[in-house]
Amino acid sequence: MTGSRVGAVRSGPDSMHIREQGPVVGLLRPQDAGQTDSMGGVTERLVVEFGARADPCTVSRVVLDCCMDLRGVPVGALPELVERLARQRLLDVTDAR
């Protein structure tokens, strides 16, 4: 991808129409990157971890909010960062009760 222009759109059989902006390439929203399975895994793990302290809908909402807050993070790091942030937010809420 060297020499690509700012604002150029890459397309092809194995691309997802990624808009390139300067040196940062390949940053996607989770739904664009096919990260729904990873986010589902994050949600499932946190539902089990928080059990009765937070209902599944709350956990799912927190994970979604974290995912949106972390948009722009490199795709490979997103699941781990979302899980860490969601866990901390859930701990903050459940400890405050």
Contact in structure between 93 and 46 (CB atoms under 8 Å): no
d(CA 97, CA 94): 5
pLDDT range class, residue 39, cuts 50, 70, 90: confident
Quote the pLDDT of residue 34.
Answer: 55
Residue that has been written with the tokens 């781990």 in this structure: 80
**pLDDT higher than 60, residue 95:** yes
| Beta-bridge partner residues of 25 | none
d(CA 19, CA 42): 27
**pLDDT higher than 90, residue 26:** no
Window from 20-29, 58-67, 73-82 with minimum mean pLDDT: 20-29
DSSP secondary structure letter of residue 20: P
Domain boundaries, the chain: 28-96
Task: Name the range with the highest mean pLDDT among 13-27, 31-45, 76-90.
Answer: 76-90
